Amino acid sequence: MRLLSRKNRLNRRKFSAQGGQKPAPRYYFRSSGPAAASPFQRRPAATKPRSGILKRIKNAVVAIVLVAGLVYSLIIKPRPEVLVADTSYHPASVYQSAAQATLMPLRNRNKLTLDKNAISSAMKRQFPEISFVELKLPLLRQIPTFKIDIAAPTFNLSSANNLYIVGANGVVVAASGQLPNLSKLPTVIDQSGFEASPGKQVLSTEAIAFINTILVQCQRAGVNVQSLTLPAAPQALELRASGSPYFVKFDLGGDATLQAGQYLAAKHQFDSENTQPSQYLDVRVAGKIYYK
């Protein structure tokens, strides 16, 4: 019975191997985890950059430099560059010192708080001959530039027994005694009753230009002007030439060249005829001459 049993077991195994049910196949499933990756597909893990801190430090340094540069560029040094158009009244060093003094207050030491209008007004009060002040602030430099336009001296104004120098802007600059180097200027006698004083506007720039044109035309014609007078009548100017028994009436609101031409032509005719007006010659109306 033991042998039969063994034989039976052998037959069962043979039957199973030949036609019986096959054992279930085994498959290999690749793991999806990083540890199971193929060694041929593995790449070395990227190392974390060690420059993160250095980059932050670099950015901080750049920011500090930019802020420092901005602060530096906003500072104004009280040593300005001064450009003066005319030094007839004062040397350039006088205007240089005055411009420097305007930058000494703390509010004017910074480009953000600098008051250009106040500086210009202060310079004009101190120097009435200044017609315009241009203050330039460079973007990066700390030294500003003052460009000062000066109204050239035009004539002496005799008013209320005082003698003043008047600039081309029509403003009284100073008493003539304070600027003796300008004593050779022609004199205009003011009979209008206006109280002149340094810093006051006595004539418009157009009236100043009119008077200058009359003087230039007379000089070219060889006429020596003895006096110029501003009478009480508005917009009136009276001229008296040396050796003439009459004075000439001009209108300050008219054409200076035309009126000067009419006067010089009439004077030439009177001189050639050896006749002279006894009181005045009126050239205020274009194309017409009146005399008495």
Helix (H, G, I), strand (E, B) or coil at 231: coil
Position 29 pLDDT exceeds 60: no
What integer pLDDT is reported at residue 26 of this predicted model?
A: 56
Position 16 pLDDT exceeds 90: no
Residue 1 pLDDT class (50, 70, 90 cuts): very low
What integer pLDDT is reported at residue 73 of this predicted model?
A: 64
Which pTM does this prediction carry? Answer: 0.69
- For residue 215 the two structure tokens come to 């003087």
- For residue 59 the two structure tokens come to 């950015």
Position 147 pLDDT exceeds 50: yes
CB 173 within 8 A of CB 209: no
- What is the torsion angle, in degrees rounded to the nearest 10, for the CA atoms of residue 268, residue 270, residue 271 and residue 274? 160
What integer pLDDT is reported at residue 64 of this predicted model?
A: 75
Domains of the chain: 81-150 (3.10.20), 153-291 (3.40.50)
Residue 17 pLDDT class (50, 70, 90 cuts): very low
Average pLDDT over residues 94-115: 90
Position 142 pLDDT exceeds 50: yes
Position 92 pLDDT exceeds 70: yes
Nearest CA to 264 out of 292, 289, 230, 237 is that of 289
What integer pLDDT is reported at residue 55 of this predicted model?
A: 77
